[in-house]
Amino acid sequence: MDKRSFFKTSMVALGGLLIPRKMLALEYYPATKNGEWAILYGTWCGSTRDASVWISEGMNGIANVFDVRENPDLSKYKHIVIGGAIRAGVVPKELQTYLENNKSVIDGKVRGLFAVCGNMKQPVNQEQHNRLINNHLAKLAGAGNVPSKVFLGRITFGLMEPDVQKQMRSMMNNEEYDNLKRSECLDFGREVFKSINQ
């Protein structure tokens, strides 16, 4: 091989190494997975993604965390936690569809449920819990009596679709908020983990 073809071949090989595989969101976070736990979430602006990672951290980082838009194959997992952001009282359509289409995969494996909402910046009470978890997400997930939690989330205008942003800016008096608490997510992760590992 002459110098020129050697150079060309090397560049092609190097390029191959640099081309990413199909992206798997959060595959490397956290790093101490045990292969048994998965957290599946649906989000618009990311607070539910952060809650999911922090819940996993509360479980000592053992859960693999999936955005539902990856359409993950959860069949190899023994324990699944499911969470959704709330808009107009419901979780994202993608999460609803996934749960509908994967009933047989998640059946009997759901160990925890959570929702992330704004609740007009007010503390969450039993009424919201019933509406968002018991009468909504638990039904979609076909889950029985498992640990569950409604977290307060956040508003970041710049992450919203332009029309939604315009509407929310006027509704919220142009004020963003951030009420998602990592400590609450960690505590929920510990609670879910303990419910299986007594």
Q: Which residues bind ligand FMN (CB under 6 A)?
A: 43-48, 85-89, 116-119, 153-155, 160, 164, 168
**In the bound complex, what is the minimum distance in angstroms from residue 3's beta carbon to ligand FMN?**
54
How close are the terminal C-alpha atoms of the chain, in Å?
64
**In the bound complex, what is the minimum distance in angstroms from residue 41's beta carbon to ligand FMN?**
8
Amino acid occupying residue 40 = L
Give the integer Cα–Cα distance in Å for 68 and 108: 19
Give the integer Cα–Cα distance in Å for 170 and 54: 31
Cβ proximity to ligand FMN: between 172 and 196 the closer is 172
Cβ proximity to ligand FMN: between 68 and 117 the closer is 117
Cβ proximity to ligand FMN: between 64 and 119 the closer is 119
**In the bound complex, what is the minimum distance in angstroms from residue 54's beta carbon to ligand FMN?**
13
Amino acid occupying residue 121 = K
Position closest to ligand FMN via CB: 153
Beta strands in the chain (DSSP E): 37-42, 64-67, 79-85, 110-117, 148-152, 154-155, 177-178
**In the bound complex, what is the minimum distance in angstroms from residue 109's beta carbon to ligand FMN?**
23
